[in-house]
């Protein structure tokens, strides 16, 4: 039986009890009172009966009201408790639903990550299929070019022709010298235009494919390094001169970005041939070049960091190479000062060069590092030479912050 039925039964019992209780009260009130139906109605008796009945039943109804009010409060408290339990259960259900939603969200996130990973894998697979197909085609074109040469070395032939036709110039203007060597290259390549044009188009297409792909930057550098490893030193040399031609104005940006000419030796460049021929020993030149480039690149990186400090005044590093001491210093990112000291001036030789020839070689090397290899206009950089005692200084002044290309990844 529910609470509502219990309430109804209780009220019914109270009413029946009052009814049966009223009978003896009426009897008691009429006790010893003669009944005469012919007599006139006595209003006073009705008033007395009303007072008697109201006094008795009013008190009883008041008492019943107190009980009913107590029962109502009790039932209301029970309802509150029931509602409170229901709210607690709802809160628990909401918590469970929240946890379920959280789990669903995590599951959806994981699913999305899986889809993204699968999408990335598919993109990389499509890229690799295209990339390695182009790489295979590129190798076949190089093989075809080599097959057309008597000695089987197309780029070696171009390099040999450039060495033969590039007569050293007497001018000290390195910009004019480089333009001369570039004109010689363009003349030779014009004769090989039909053979080489397909090669350079595909060369650009391979590196452009890598640069435009959706793969990560580390992967781009990885694939670019794979491609770079396919290029011979002679091919790198021809690419170097080709990238300075006006028709290759977009190529040099990618060369700088991915450091494609990293393994091109300075000694292989035509502009170095005449000065290197003056050296009595070239055993240590390549090591000297690499160390200078490495230390200079590190110096510029550290300088850019130090320039942000409020207390910065000047940054400098020094190192020794055989009988030479080299100090690099600067207080600005547009100026570099190279100081070279011969620790054994009595030998009158510096890395196999006479002192005068060495400084010319060093000047050519610095010019190549900051101008030709960075595709900078000659007018944007000025190189000055000063000498105090046994120490000679080469000062670079640039319109823009100086930098060197490195493998960033």
User: By residue range, what is the domain housing residue 190?
Assistant: 125-271
pLDDT given for residue 406 in this prediction: 81
Q: Is residue 42 part of a domain?
A: no
In what side-by-side order are the strands of the sheet with 335-342? Answer: 315-321, 324-330, 335-342, 391-398, 381-388
- Any idea which residue has 């003349």 for tokens? 187
Structural Rg of the chain based on CA atoms: 51
323 and 242 in a common domain: no
The residues that bridge with 398 in the sheet, in sequence order, are 381
158 and 263 in a common domain: yes
pLDDT given for residue 319 in this prediction: 93
Using CA atoms, how far apart are residues 28 and 157, in angstroms rounded to an integer?
146
For residues 208-214, average pLDDT = 91
249 and 294 in a common domain: no
Residue 1 reports pLDDT greater than 80: no
Q: Is residue 205 part of a domain?
A: yes
* pTM (predicted TM-score): 0.72
For residues 52-66, average pLDDT = 68
Token pair recorded at residue 154: 């197309």
Model confidence at 329, in pLDDT bands (50, 70, 90)? very high
**Which of 242, 271, 300 represents a domain boundary (last residue)?**
271
Tens digits of residue pLDDT in 339-363 = 999 888 777 888 888 888 899 899 9
Tens digits of residue pLDDT in 282-306 = 888 999 999 999 999 999 999 999 9
**Which of 238, 271, 304 represents a domain boundary (last residue)?**
271
Question: Could you tell me the CATH number of the domain that includes residue 385?
Answer: 3.40.1720
pLDDT given for residue 130 in this prediction: 93
The conformation of residue 350, written as its DSSP 8-state character, comes to: B
């Amino acid at each position: 039986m529910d609470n509502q039925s219990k309430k109804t039964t209780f009220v019914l019992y109270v009413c029946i009890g009052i009814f049966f209780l009223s009978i003896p009260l009426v009897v008691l009130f009429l006790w010893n009172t003669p009944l005469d139906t012919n007599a006139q109605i006595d209003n006073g008796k009705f008033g007395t009966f009303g007072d008697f009945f109201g006094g008795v039943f009013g008190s009883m109804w008041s008492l019943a009201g107190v009980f009913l009010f107590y029962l109502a409060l009790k039932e209301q408290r029970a309802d509150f408790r029931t509602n409170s339990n229901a709210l607690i259960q709802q809160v628990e259900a909401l918590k469970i639903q929240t946890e379920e939603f959280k789990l669903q969200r995590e599951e959806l996130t994981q699913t999305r990550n899986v889809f993204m990973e699968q999408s990335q894998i598919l993109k990389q697979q499509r890229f690799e299929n295209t990339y390695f197909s182009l790489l295979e085609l590129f190798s076949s074109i190089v093989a075809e070019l080599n097959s057309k040469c008597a000695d089987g070395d197309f780029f070696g032939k171009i390099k040999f022709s450039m060495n033969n036709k590039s007569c050293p110039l007497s001018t000290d203007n390195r910009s004019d010298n480089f333009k001369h060597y570039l004109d010689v290259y363009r003349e030779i390549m014009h004769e090989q235009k039909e053979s080489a044009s397909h090669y350079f188009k595909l060369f650009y297409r391979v590196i452009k494919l890598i640069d435009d792909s959706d793969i990560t930057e580390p992967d781009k550098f990885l694939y670019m390094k794979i491609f770079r490893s396919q290029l011979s030193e002679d091919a790198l040399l021809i690419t170097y001169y080709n990238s300075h031609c006006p028709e290759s104005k977009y190529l040099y940006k990618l060369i700088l970005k991915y450091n494609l000419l990293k393994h091109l030796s300075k000694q292989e460049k035509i502009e170095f041939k005449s000065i290197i021929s003056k050296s009595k020993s070239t055993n240590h030149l390549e090591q000297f070049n690499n160390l200078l480039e490495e230390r200079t690149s590190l110096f510029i990186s550290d300088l850019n960091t130090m320039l942000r400090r409020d207390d910065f005044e000047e940054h400098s590093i020094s190192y020794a190479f055989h009988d030479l001491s080299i100090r690099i210093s600067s207080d600005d990112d547009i100026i570099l000062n190279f100081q070279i000291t011969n620790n054994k001036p009595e030998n009158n030789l510096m890395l196999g060069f006479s002192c005068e020839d060495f400084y010319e070689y060093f000047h050519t090397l610095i010019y190549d590092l900051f101008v030709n290899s960075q595709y900078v206009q000659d007018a944007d950089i000025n190189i000055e030479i000063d000498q105090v005692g046994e120490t000679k200084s080469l000062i670079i002044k640039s319109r823009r912050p100086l930098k060197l290309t490195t493998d960033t990844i």
